[in-house]
Amino acid sequence: MKTQVAIVGAGPAGLLLSHLLRLQGIDSVVVETRSREYCENRIRAGVLEQGTVDTLVESGLGARMQREGLVHHGIELLFERRRHRIDMTHLTGGRSITVYSQHEVVRDLIAAAIDHEQPVLFDVANVLLHDIRSDQPYVELVHRGERIRIDCDYIAGCDGFHGVSRASIPADVLRTYERVYPYAWLGILADATPSADELVYAHHERGFALFSMRSPSVTRLYLQCRPDENLAEWSDGRIWAELHTRFENDEGWTPNEGSITQKSVTPMRSFVAEPMQYGRLFLAGDAAHIVPPTGAKGMNLAVADVRTLSRALAARYRDGRVDLLEGYSTTCLERVWRAEHFSYFMTNMLHPSPDETSFVNRLKMSELKYVTTSNAAAQSLAENYVGLPFAEAG
């Protein structure tokens, strides 16, 4: 096979990149080790920044999201038994977020690929990247028992934290930065009508809790827990009791209970790899960076990456320009580190930790009070939460 861009990974980053390249008249092939069914049903959070929503709509991918997504104009911070609303739309000149699950975005992207006959190979194995420093890189893989070679001009590594792409960059070239947090999230899905219209972030002495939703009939909830938490010790009754405790407030609001259909423990980690390019290989999404879920930045950063990469590749093929490709890593990392800091800020402020001194935990409470009483602090939180405008290059 021969194509202009070989894309490794059929998550939101890889599939969206393929779609954006098609709109620019650039050929691509997407390869994925997982099955289509796995990709379409892998449940992940879905808080979309304004810029992500705009990108999907502008590229013709937003119809179902606009019908079924839940537009939120604010969030609530709950602490010391009081709810404090951050009016994001007012503070950011009209910007908002949309709750629309990641697997729904993936389904829309796969449907678009099928409609436009974009080649996506699922269930591949033994993926190897070759000659990425040359002007003739290629990807080798096995698909349906057949060994396939894909010759290309460029390779986009969109295959996640454990994929082959980042591992193909020599260790002496790559610099990595990481923080592992001393707590995790126990998350559940419940068949219960959401009892609030917006997300509620709760800071409680027993630990953080988050109220969210997946649809008008499904509630998503999280509890701060240990990274080595044993799910078998968490009965449905214990989960609901702990949620009600951490969401205690003077207004009597509480999440609706319902049948719990899913339980999982999510570790908390921050990670960045630099540079995000090596030769003809360009990393995007989780292959290059991980953020804790508190700031809701993971998929949004992936969208920002491939938006930048698609425009750089378009300039290369349309105008013969290579400056945007050469500056890809620098451009992306500016946004990545801003998102990393915001996610760190939100995570640190909202999670009390038994490993920290009472002094540090009191500082966290002071920060919460500041962002809910200072217009400037609230505006900073809101601007970062809805997503900063894209820095368009060239």
Mean pLDDT is lowest, of 30-44, 114-128, 347-361, for 347-361
Residue 393 pLDDT grade (very low, low, confident, very high; cuts 50, 70, 90)? very low
> Residue 245: pLDDT above 50?
yes
Which H or E element spans position 240? helix 236-246
Q: Using N-to-C axis directions, what is the helix angle for 375-386 and 328-350, rounded to 10°?
A: 130
pLDDT tens-digit readout, 63-120: 999 999 999 999 999 999 999 999 999 999 999 999 999 999 999 999 999 999 999 9
Q: Domain 5-177+269-386: what homologous superfamily?
A: FAD/NAD(P)-binding domain (3.50.50.60)
| 311 — pLDDT class (breaks 50, 70, 90) | very high
Confidence category of residue 326, pLDDT binned at 50, 70, 90: very high
Confidence (pTM): 0.94
Q: Tell me, what's the pLDDT at 357?
A: 73
Give the catalytic positions in this structure.
72, 201, 293, 297, 385
* Composition of the chain by helix, strand, coil, percent to 5: 40, 30, 35
Q: Is pLDDT above 80 for 392?
A: no
Cis link prior to 170 (omega < 30° from 0)?
no
Contact 195, 213 (CB under 8 A): no
Pairing of strands 175-191, 218-225: antiparallel
Whether 141 and 8 have beta carbons less than 8 Å apart is answered as no
For 312-365, give the DSSP string: HHHHHHHH---HHHHTHHHHHHHHHHHHHHHHHHHHHHH---TTS-HHHHHHHH
Angle, to 10 degrees, between the axis of helix 50-58 and the axis of helix 298-319?
40
